[in-house]
Amino acid sequence: MKKIIFAALIALVAIPAFAEKAENKTGTKTQTSGLSISGNVTDEVSGEALVGVEVKLEGSDQKAYTDFDGHFVIDNIKAGDCKLVASYISYNKDEKTLKLDSKTNQVKIKLQASK
C-alpha cells in the first residue's frame, strides 16, 4: 500500500516532465536534432510499469521521468557511447552502457527492489 501511495505522489511531482516540447514564439514546435533514447522501466519481479523513475544520461543534464505506462524519451543526444542511469526510491539504481548509432534507440530497464 505504501508503494502505491508513494508512486502516486511521485507521479504528481513528475507531471510537468510530461509536458509537450517547447513552442517557439510563432507557436510552432521547435525541431530537435540528434538521436533519441526511449524505453520502458518495470519492476523486475512483478513486471509492473514504474511511474516517475528518473532516467538520466550520466555526465549531462539530460533526463526524463517515466509516465504512467513506465515509458520515457530523451531527445537530442549525440551519437556514440553513453551511460543511462535509472533511479527510483526503494529500488536499486540500474546503469546501462549504450552505443547510440541509429535515430531511435530502444531500451528496457528492469529495476530490482532494494532490501
Domain interval for residue 62: 2-17+34-111
pLDDT for position 25: 41
**Mean pLDDT for the stretch of residues 32-43:** 86
64, 72 Cβ separation under 8 angstroms:
yes
Q: Is 10 inside any structural domain?
A: yes
pLDDT for position 28: 40
**CATH code of the domain containing 85:** 2.60.40.1120
- Is it the case that residue 105 has pLDDT exceeding 90? no
Q: Is 27 inside any structural domain?
A: no
pLDDT for position 115: 84
Burial of 45 (0-12, 13-18, 19+ CB in 10 A): exposed
pTM: 0.69
**Mean pLDDT for the stretch of residues 67-79:** 94
Q: Is 64 inside any structural domain?
A: yes
pLDDT for position 5: 62
Q: Is 11 inside any structural domain?
A: yes
**Mean pLDDT for the stretch of residues 36-47:** 95
Q: Is 88 inside any structural domain?
A: yes
* Number of domains comprising the chain: 1
Q: Is 29 inside any structural domain?
A: no
Q: Is 86 inside any structural domain?
A: yes
- Is it the case that residue 22 has pLDDT exceeding 60? no
